[in-house]
Every structure is written in C-alpha cells, then in structure tokens.
Amino acid sequence: MRIGLVCPYTWDVPGGVQQHVGDLAEALMDLGHEVSVLTPCDSETELPAHIVPAGRAIPVPYNGSVARLAFGFRAAARVRRWIHEGGFDVLHVHEPAAPSLSLLACWVADGPIVATFHTSNPRSRAMAVSAAALRTALEKINGRIAVSEAARKTLVEHLGGDAVLIPNGVAVRRYENARPLEGWPGDGGAIGFLGRMDEPRKGLPVLLEAFETLGRRRPGLRLLVAGPGDAAEVRERVSAELRDRVVLLGRVDEADKIRAYHSVDVFCAPNLGGESFGIVLTEAMSAGAPIVASDIPAFRSVLREGAAGELFAVGDPMDLVRAVESLLDDPERRVALSGAARAAVRAYDWASVAGDVVGVYETVLAGVAATGAVPAAHGEGE
Amino acid sequence: MIPGVLSDWLTPLIALFALVVLFSFYISWRATRLDRLHTRVETAHAALDAALLRRSAVVLELASASELEPASSVLLADAAGQARRAEEQGRRELAESNLSRALRAVVEEPGFAGGMSDAAAQGGGGVTAGPIVPAGTSGEAPPAELLAEVESAAKRVHIARRFYNDAVAATREARSSRLVRVLRLAGRAPMPDFFEMDDEPPVFPPWG
C-alpha cells in the first residue's frame, strides 16, 4: 500500500505528534508498506528519504499560545504537488483540526482520507470557535482515529461524530538495550521510580514511606528517582540516615531515561490511579525491568493480571515493601518477570499498533473501492 | 467718605478678595479643562472600542470567506474569537495584539493575494469536494472589497489607539500637578490607563 502521512507540526521541534508520526511511519514500512511523510521543516537538516519537507513553519498566535504552523496558499500548493506526485492509496492526516498542513491536505485532496486526533484538552475552545471553518474540510475524512479516550471525547464534543480508539504505540526497540547509568545498580540493589515528583497521584510518597522500612532492613539498597519536581522538598521527607541513598536525578533526557530503566533491580510504579494507559510502565517493560506496580485496573491489564509484574495494594507502603523484597530476594523470579514483561509489551509495540491502523485503512478502502474513488489532489498539479 | 484709618485696612482686604476671586476662577478653569480631558478620553475609548470590534467582525468575515484556505481561516477565526471574548483590559490587550499578529501572518504570507484571486476566479475555490460551487451563490462580499475593508479596519485600530493614548497622556499629565491632587479637582474619576497593544496593520500585497 502507498501511504501518505501528514504531520502538522514542524519536524525539527520534538513533540508528541511528531514522534507518533515518525514511529508510525517506520512501523508501517517494517510491515512492507511504502510511506511518505509530509511535514513542515525549518532547517536544512538531513532527513530520511521518506520524510518530505514542506517548507518553514511560521510562528503564529493560536489557541492562547504561539504555535509554529504551515498555512497559506503556497503551503496548500506544496501539499497538492506532494499528493499529485505521491499517487497514494490512502492519505493519513494527523491532528487535522490544527490550522496547518493536515487541514490543507484535507482541503486539497479527494479520495480516501484517514485522520488521527491527538488533542485531549476539554478546556480548549479553539476547536469550538473554528468548528464552522473546519467542518467543510473535515467532512471529507472517511475514517477517524483517536489516540486516547480523552482525545475521542474532545473530538466528539467539538466536531460531533465518532472515532475508533487506537492508542499510541511504544517504540519497544528504542528501550530494549541501554548501558546502565554510571555506578548503578550497585551491589546492595536498586529500586527505580520515574515520573513527576510533586504529583501525588504518581505515588512517590508511598514509595518513600516504603523505603523508610526497606532502607533500614537492607543497608546497601538505593532508590533512583527520575522526573521533574522540587528535589529539596522530596529530600526533606526522607530520614537523615537514608538521605544519601535516595538519588534524585531531576528531569532527564530521553537517553538517560532509557538508561535509568536499565539501572535498577526493581522498577516501581506506585500510582494511586488515573493512569489511562501507563506509558512509563510500558517503557519499563520494553527495557525488561522487573516491575512492582499498584494494583490499579490499567496496570493490572497491562501486566497481564500480575504475570508480567508484581502487583501490590494501591497506596499501601507495607504491601509495597513485601512485593519489593520478594523480588530482591529472588533473582530467578526477576529474570522470569523481565522476560514476561518483554513478551507482554509486544501487544503495545508500534508493530502491532500499526497493524490496527492498517486495519482502518483497509476498512476505508473497502468502502471507497465500491464507489471507485482514487486519491488525488483536485486542481492542477503545479 | 471713608475715613483714612478704615481705608488703611480696607485696601489690602479688597486686594485679597480680588485675589481669591481670581484664584477661584483659575481653579474652576483648571477643573473644567480636566473635565474636558476626561471626556476626551472617554470619547477616544469609545472610538477605540468600536474600531477593535469592527476589526474582529471583518476578520471573522474574512475567516469565513470561501476563497480562503482553511488553515488561515481557522487561525483568523481563533484569534478574532479570542479577542471578542477577552473582556478585562489586560487580557484584551494581549488578545487584540494576537489578532494583529495572526492577521499579519496570514495576509503577508507569500501567495496570499494570488491564491485569493485564483480562488475567486474559480468561484468557490474548491473548499468543497465534488460538484463545483457556482460563483456568486455564496452571497458574500467579493474578496477585493472584503480585503479593502479588513485593511481599513486594521488601520483604523492603529489610528484610534494613537488618539486614545494621546488623550490618556494629556489627562495623566494634567492630573499629575500638585494643585489638582491637593484640591482633588479630578473628583472620583479613575486615572485612565494607556492601551498597550501591537496594532501594526498588515502590509497588504498589491491586489491584482
């Protein structure tokens, strides 16, 4: 299948949508499809062959902040030319409600169009305000995908209609192998945590309380915490005698984050609830870290009812102590859990997510095949 | 006849009385002037308000013009909508500045004029797929006229704000004098604030 992907945001700035489009493109190519990605791109950066730059994105006020977007008739002409030359079987636009390339693609193209909606901001009034301007262009979309339940709700509220839910994939390959951080995990054992330190729902206080017991029972045990937040305030909550065994990395970059997953004997996800999917958990699973996680429905399901990671009672530090100790004392069980986690996370890998997306393409194509429509840019090809 | 002794102390009294009368005339003149300045500020504010409302209205009309491509439409509709809803002064200045910036970004984008006239020539501009919308059925102003309106509305905002800030400056200057402050000549009228915003009108490409 020849697939044309359109990304509305500039490629040289990292962001969730860009990452999604890049990962999806690679996964689709791995499945044997031909893929071309059209995206705004500022600099003359070296791009892989399948990424087609559509010119500079212009900073412009939008929805209460300044966004870098590609708009205007010239951008529309570039989209038209790309569709004309691409000869795609299906056009897949991302975030078509944003005033950028994706919306322009819907405007200039005729034929099978699939759209993925990423935004999940119920307070955003931008979509509501411009709904009328959007409606005509968005009417041409044959199949709509939402990446989360929240994104689906936002879409339904502002534009009506419905969408199928296909979550973000995990780039398992990116997490599989990494060198542990210098000096980790160490002989005494190490526990890891990743997430905002100052957000109680992420459950760091539960883990810190458990460490008061764990740290005293096990003299060499250390705790590695990565994520943004007030480090001094966290350190304050740890007893003085244990303080030098709690290492706070603060905000880390992508590479160090991956290394952090590989630096611990047990990875802990003590969330108190609210996680719809648990991206941190799936990343840790991809890295093959033995996992101890709260028994919340989302985690229970990702961890295959406890087969791919040890579950403990939500918000219960003593049960967390039990779970961590059972793993620290049993290296064989850690190896078994690591393997089970790596196997279980395959279901969330981009390869399988891309398979679901292809399923959407095929459904849409089956419909248009009956009517004989082919994707084409209307107007002259320039 | 006034006895000499009486006139001795009456003359300075008359002089003092004359001084008091003169001074009160002066005070009343200052107060009237201040009042006139406040009225000028109010009038200028009303004019600025009208200019801003008019600008957001014509920008919304441009946003819904079928000739415009949808990304620019959404940008303009969003900026104009935010400007309309921003009620308090601080937020309004920001929202109106954002509208100026969005309008410049859209209008000054190379290809804007050509695209609009091509689309107008095609009548409907391919906004809708399938059957071509015949020209003239939308009942909207032709783009050349609409663009001229947007241009004049943007310039009028620039002018109205200049006049308003000028009136505010004169009033603040007049109110800063010690006499006005000590005698409270301004009464309870609030001190007028400058309206700070980016009001640079877009440079419209030659229309052809």
Task: Locate the domains of chain B by residue range.
Answer: 23-182
A contacts of B73 (beta carbons < 8 Å): 99, 130, 133
Give the angle subtended at the CA of B204 by the CAs of B200 and B207, to the nearest 5°.
165
Mean per-residue pLDDT for A132-160? 82
Same domain flag for A203 and A317: yes
B contacts of A72 (beta carbons < 8 Å): 69, 71-72, 106, 109-112, 115
Give A276's pLDDT tier (boundaries 50, 70, 90): low
Q: Does B79 touch chain A (CB under 8 A)?
A: yes
The pair of structure tokens assigned to B120 is 């107008």
- At residue A374, the pLDDT reads 58
The dihedrals phi and psi of A115, each to the nearest 5 degrees, come to -130, 140
For A317, how many CA atoms within 13 A lie in the half-sphere containing its CB? 13
Task: Tell me the CA distances in angstroms from A130 to A282, A332, B99, one per residue in order.
Answer: 36, 58, 14
Best CA proximity match to B38, nearest among B155, B189, B153:
B189
- Say whether pLDDT at B119 is over 50: yes
User: What pTM value is reported for the model?
Assistant: 0.76
Same domain flag for A364 and A339: no
Residues contacting residue A195 through CB under 8 Å, at least 6 positions apart: A202, A204, A227, A271, A280
Residue B39 or residue A127, greater confidence? B39
- At residue B127, the pLDDT reads 37
CA A27, A29, A30, A32: dihedral to nearest 10 degrees?
Answer: 130
Over residues A79-112, the pLDDT tens digits come to 999 999 988 999 999 999 889 999 999 988 888 9
Beta-bridge partners for B86: none
Q: Which amino acid is at B189?
A: A
Chain B residue with the nearest C-alpha to that of A74: B111
Over residues B147-193, the pLDDT tens digits come to 899 999 999 999 999 999 999 999 998 888 888 888 888 778 788 99
CATH number of the domain bearing residue A364: 3.40.50.2000
- At residue A127, the pLDDT reads 58
- At residue B139, the pLDDT reads 42
Mean per-residue pLDDT for A141-149? 88
Residue A15 or residue B35, greater confidence? B35
What is the residue whose two structure tokens read 């809803």? B85
ipTM over 0.85: no
In a domain, A382, yes or no: no
Same domain flag for A284 and A152: no
B contacts of A135 (beta carbons < 8 Å): none
Same domain flag for A225 and A336: yes
Residues contacting residue A292 through CB under 8 Å, at least 6 positions apart: A266, A267, A268, A269, A309, A310, A311, A312, A320, A323, A324, A327
Q: Which domain holds residue A282?
A: 174-347
Q: Does A63 touch chain B (CB under 8 A)?
A: yes
CB contact under 8 A, B116 and A63: no
Best CA proximity match to A266, nearest among A373, A192, A216:
A192
Q: What percent of chain A has pLDDT over 90?
A: 36
CB contact under 8 A, B69 and A73: yes
Same domain flag for A263 and A318: yes
Q: Does A356 touch chain B (CB under 8 A)?
A: no
Q: Does A136 touch chain B (CB under 8 A)?
A: yes
Same domain flag for A85 and A133: yes
- Say whether pLDDT at A4 is over 90: yes
Beta-bridge partners for A226: A194, A250
d(CA A287, CA A54): 35
Same domain flag for A212 and A138: no
- Say whether pLDDT at B14 is over 50: yes
Same domain flag for A205 and A270: yes
Cis peptide bond N-terminal to A185, omega within 30: yes
Distance from CA of B156 to the nearest CA of A (A): 22
Distance from CA of A378 to the nearest CA of B (A): 8
CB contact under 8 A, A72 and B75: no
- Say whether pLDDT at A21 is over 50: yes
Same domain flag for A229 and A130: no
Range with lowest mean pLDDT among A328-337, B103-112, B173-182? B173-182
CB distance A264 to A194 below 8 Å: no
Over residues A119-132, the pLDDT tens digits come to 766 555 555 556 66
Over residues A172-214, the pLDDT tens digits come to 888 888 888 888 888 888 999 998 888 778 888 999 999 998 8
Q: What is the CA radius of gyration of chain A?
A: 23
CB contact under 8 A, A133 and B128: no
Same domain flag for A178 and A157: no
CB contact under 8 A, A60 and B126: no
Instruction: Find residues 110-149 of chain B whose CB sits inside 8 Å of chain A.
Output: 110-112, 114-116, 118-119, 126-129
Give B140's pLDDT tier (boundaries 50, 70, 90): very low
In a domain, A213, yes or no: yes
Tell me, letter by letter, the H, E, C secondary structure of A232-278: HHHHHCCCHHHHHHEEEEECCCHHHHHHHHCCCCEEEECCCCCCCCC
Domain count, chain A: 2
Q: Does A104 touch chain B (CB under 8 A)?
A: yes
Q: What percent of chain A has pLDDT over 70?
A: 91
| Distance from the Cα of residue A322 to its chain's centroid | 31
Give B106's pLDDT tier (boundaries 50, 70, 90): very high
Instruction: Report helix, strand or coil for A177.
Output: coil
Strand segments, DSSP code E, in chain A are 2-6, 34-39, 51-53, 58-62, 65-69, 90-94, 109-110, 113-117, 143-146, 164-165, 190-194, 222-226, 246-250, 266-269, 291-294, 310-312, 376-377
d(CA A57, CA A73): 14
The pair of structure tokens assigned to B143 is 């783009």
To test the contact with chain B by mutation, choose from A7, A9, A60 the residue with the greatest count of B C-beta atoms within 10 A, namely: A60
Tell me, letter by letter, the H, E, C secondary structure of B35-86: HHHHHHHHHHHHHHHHHHHHHHHHHHHHHCCCCCCHHHHHHHHHHHHHHHHC
Count Cβ–Cβ pairs < 8 Å, chain A vs chain B: 113
CB contact under 8 A, A125 and B81: yes
Chain B residue with the nearest C-alpha to that of A376: B129
